[in-house]
Structure 1
């Protein structure tokens, strides 16, 4: 269920739209100071005066700060909302837009005066905030306080903001697509269903798609994906999406790889019930790859991109993989399975090995809800970044900061490599020897399948899920990774 809220841009004055909106929001700069473009229209409409109201509420104009009251604008009474925009940066306006959208829930129409000094990047972020905070996912009836059906963006006369707002809209809808995929209950979300959704989105987004079923996977030697899915009656898939820029042959090829575990029970190494409650979102990395791919053509990304999603359901049964089994990955590398709940790295290993052997990428980036250790280390706001090249790490760190999806670089500590040694196979899928560095050891395991190419791994077990709404983040699947990947891919030509 994609974001249903629509953004409409109009040029004019606040009084021109006040009669058709339940809520009218006006920006307040840090200080606080009402945005000069709109100050004359709202200064006298509050009984106390706008400046006195802000002072009474001890407002500072910080991003997302809200002060409001019913006022007479034109012939009727309208809720006039003063919203803080802070320093006007993209991060501040993203938060401001989200706060306004949440305050406008329950009404059919919301009108928002656009900050007059915002540049294109900030305006795009503002649109992202408005739309992402308007996101809803429910199975059954509508929410008690639905998002506004329409948000009217009011600008000074003849100011051109359409391109920036359109970019923000494209990005927000890509994030919403990823959230939808991850929030869908696993009763419906089989690997086959995920592949069908990828095919539908590919057709809508101008992408080529290929889906390998269990027979093709077994025949081609994708032993990790086959083994992880062996315990389920709903067999695995490998989804491959391809984007070619319209401007002609690209000089760079990026491969994105996403973990697509549609439900993770832990397999025979069974999780506790409490730990399973969020496991419908264990394919959030794969959802981020699919979501990002859907926006590439609309954003005119100049880089060739292939997206791989290794999809399987990890369940216990008589046919499930067992601790002690040895599996053979694509390309021949073998892994001793010490814990069937360390399954994400097994399916990612196949996809990475395939990308290295067959797709000849310049850069490999994988994204996965891979380890609880990353969440313990960094909490729920930062993704863990591992990279083989400093320049690639710097690009991704910058993209994360710009997009509002921050990363923190973690070390690929070679001294820990011995943790994944096995006496019976090339590798073990769990660390041994008391290293106690779960996220690092998992990254070192994946590195073995990247063929010495430029590679980055994003462990997003923390920020991929949220327990409550906050700014543009919504409870449940957050779509984390879509914005930063799109920002990074869009900037690769510079």
Structure 2
């Protein structure tokens, strides 16, 4: 497993390095303006190497041998500007450029020439994504990666507190998603969550198996009851030291994650090609778990609850069936017309539990909820739906800061509720018209179960950005943490 950390100086960075890479905007690699970083010879070679690279719209890289130490030199050349819907840190460009520099052996030393200190977090996360932690190969490769951030004059910039911890939480969350589903079933997932929270001042509760039905959590119970590993609701609670419920600036925030450890589609079985990769269907739960860890480590001023809805959507004699009617935690009834629309059943119970039993006033849920999210906002931007305009702006700004970009979809209950109409229950679980804002409608189903609860709610569909090219990214950890830390 590769390790990633920050060096305190160029001397420390270069010690033992086999490869050195300089990453910066195209304008940085100018003979007159290039900062003094590596000594006269290597600085000149860096500028000459960068001349061979066209940054294009998304960044590019090149490498060469130095004839000395470090033996190999690389450059990651980023575009000088990006559109307003992209992050100013050019995090995605860093990820793409680093993809061409990540191969090799021995210590990799990376100098990030940043335009603003606030860009360090997003760029460090982008680099972390190039070195995934999970490997099932018999000869797994590991590498030591060390970073140093400097400004355009070459002055070292110390990263903000929490950057290293956030990068670690992102990588841990990606590792969870990458783990094979027979190893990370609901019980194993809960155990892993306990391990990751060990040593923190949080309280943990689990509601498991038939107790879910007894507690009114009919959606989670139904989806997971046919699996060998029982479904469960994992709840962790953090209260800041010295907090007072009367504090005007303190909120009670709940992070609710969809944790379907494997999704067969249920009795509406997915076809070949549609089931592979469905270990990623707990990406939302992994993201909220990572965000919770970041918030606890940062001693967030708000109370924070973590609600992980864990189940395997397996098939067997106990499977829930099309035409079944489930009674949810909200008290509303749901006619099942698609067993492959199971994640929203988990989230519906989770957000209702957070609002009505934990009494959270602000609720975020995260899920790999719909394939339609990728049609709506692509594989770089997650989709956000919220009932609060100010919260929407906070989440989008957090996305630009963290590099986990979000783009809003419509919140319009009066336009979407009709898609779930049922003759025999309060609603169906899947839309009638798949061409009518399918991702926004899926979010609406979740919100239906907050009916009557006075809460601010934000929903993140991260189906595309959480799992790209058969590898998890840990998307969602940083943007959720940044959003909560910036809540007013």
Q: Normalised by the shorter chain, which TM-score bucket?
A: 0.7 to 0.9
- Distance in 2 between the 1:61 and 1:375 partners? 24
- Distance in 1 between the 2:17 and 2:379 partners? 36
- Distance in 2 between the 1:274 and 1:45 partners? 49
- Distance in 2 between the 1:93 and 1:379 partners? 16
- Distance in 2 between the 1:358 and 1:459 partners? 24
- Distance in 2 between the 1:434 and 1:139 partners? 38
> Partner of 1:133: helix, strand, or coil?
coil
Given that residues 162 and 294 in structure 2 are in contact (C-alpha distance below 8 angstroms), is that contact kept between their aligned partners in structure 1? no
Q: Give, in angstroms, the shift of residue 114 of structure 1.
A: 4.4
- Distance in 2 between the 1:44 and 1:223 partners? 64
Given that residues 28 and 85 in structure 1 are in contact (C-alpha distance below 8 angstroms), is that contact kept between their aligned partners in structure 2? yes
Q: Give, in angstroms, the shift of residue 160 of structure 1.
A: 6.2
- Distance in 2 between the 1:44 and 1:311 partners? 52
Compared CA separation, residues 86 and 387, structure 1 to 2 (3 A): same
- Distance in 1 between the 2:347 and 2:43 partners? 59
- Distance in 1 between the 2:18 and 2:156 partners? 25
Work out whether 1:78 is the aligned partner of 2:35: no
1:287-366 alignment, distance < 5 Å: 287-366=286-365
Matching residue within 452, 457, 460 for 1:458? 460
Q: Give, in angstroms, the shift of residue 8 of structure 1.
A: 4.3
Matching residue within 221, 234, 237 for 2:216? 221
Compared CA separation, residues 319 and 444, structure 1 to 2 (3 A): same
- Which consecutive unaligned segments of at least 5 residues does structure 2 have? 82-86
- Distance in 2 between the 1:339 and 1:93 partners? 37
Which position in structure 1 is the counterpart of 2:84? none
Deviations 1:437-491 (A, max 9, x none): 4223222211111124211211222222111xxxxxxx42221111111111122
1:25-424 alignment, distance < 5 Å: 25-27=21-23, 29-31=25-27, 32-33=29-30, 36-38=34-36, 41-42=39-40, 51-55=47-51, 57=52, 59=54, 64-72=59-67, 76=69, 78-84=71-77, 86-87=79-80, 91-92=89-90, 95-96=93-94, 99-100=97-98, 103-115=101-113, 118-143=115-140, 146-151=141-146, 153=148, 161-164=157-160, 167-246=162-241, 248-249=243-244, 251-413=250-412, 414-424=414-424
Q: Give, in angstroms, the shift of residue 158 of structure 1.
A: 12
- Which consecutive unaligned segments of at least 5 residues does structure 1 have? 468-474
Which position in structure 2 is the counterpart of 1:472? none
Deviations 1:221-272 (A, max 9, x none): 1111111112223210101121222363461111111111111111111111
Per mean C-alpha deviation after superposition, the further-off stretch among 28-37 and 307-316 is 28-37
Q: Give, in angstroms, the shift of residue 390 of structure 1.
A: 0.8
Q: TM-score, normalised by structure 1?
A: 0.86
- Distance in 1 between the 2:298 and 2:194 partners? 20
RMSD (Å), alpha carbons:
3.0
- Distance in 1 between the 2:302 and 2:40 partners? 47
Given that residues 108 and 148 in structure 1 are in contact (C-alpha distance below 8 angstroms), is that contact kept between their aligned partners in structure 2? yes
Given that residues 98 and 130 in structure 1 are in contact (C-alpha distance below 8 angstroms), is that contact kept between their aligned partners in structure 2? no
